[in-house]
Structure 1
Amino acid sequence: MTLSIGLLAIAVPGAASAQEGPPLAVQGQQDLSFGELLGGLATQVSPNDAGRNAQLRIRGARDQTIEISFELPAEMTRPEGGSIPLLFGVADAQFSASGSTGDRIPFDPNTPWTITLTQQGWSWIFLGGTVQPPAQAPLGNYSATITLTLSDLGS
């Protein structure tokens, strides 16, 4: 079985704000990938796993307050039928103002999260998760879509 999750990113403008700088934007950089799996064995991808985690860039103005929210799938499916459960834990998402590992802030991707951007330009979000294939899961390519929404809170 090969498993991967595509990313769909949406930036939602909020109330007009007095901040100077670029408009709120988001770009998917890398899909979350679980690779090949064995039925019955759970596989976890850490948000620190640079080769398999989901990576998204977000851009906004310095001191802009935004809300980050995910629409997370409960399972991955394949066109021929069959599904594999997915879990996203309370520390499976991380925010980084610089993209480095030194300034990452963990957060729960299951609930909306608010942050004030500390710099103008691109920041990063990293996402991991756990897949739990049943012992008798049909072979094939499974996929799901994760939606990230950024909302400008106008402050």
Structure 2
Amino acid sequence: MQRVITALNIRFGEMNIEILLDKDDNVHFLELGPRAGGNMIPIQLSDAFGIDLVKANVQAAIGVKPDFVDKPVKALPGCYMHYVLHSYETGTFGNVEIDESIRKFVYREVIYKKPGDKIEVFDGAGKALGIIFLHFDKSIEMEDFCKNHNTLIKVNLQ
């Protein structure tokens, strides 16, 4: 990665990188694009590092050095993740139900649909219903959520 960034003389800005590793751990680039990834990843990275990446991208785009560039940037404590809300069924959106046992870990909810909206089976990002942002104090808490997410967050149809 560093060789590519150095060769292209990339100094500022976000980059979306998608790679595949084959069975011999050889890297195959699928995409290297001057954009932030989808699913509100820049917002969550801003949360996890305590910097405003959206502002930094605007600054970089207009030729202004982003505020944090010459300062140390370090991840804040805990584990950040997001969960893309989706449905395994076509139907009419009712609501999102979040189990009380994980409510304390949810720090932001962005729901794209309103009750009564038609929804389709999730088969790509365009059919996401929203995003739940989570912050766990310990990795074991996050791992437990990942193992049980289907029972902890439910999309209810009408």
TM superposition score normalised by structure 1 = 0.33
- Greater CA radius of gyration, 1 or 2? 2
Higher relative contact order (CA 8 A, sep 6+): 1
**More strand per residue:** 1
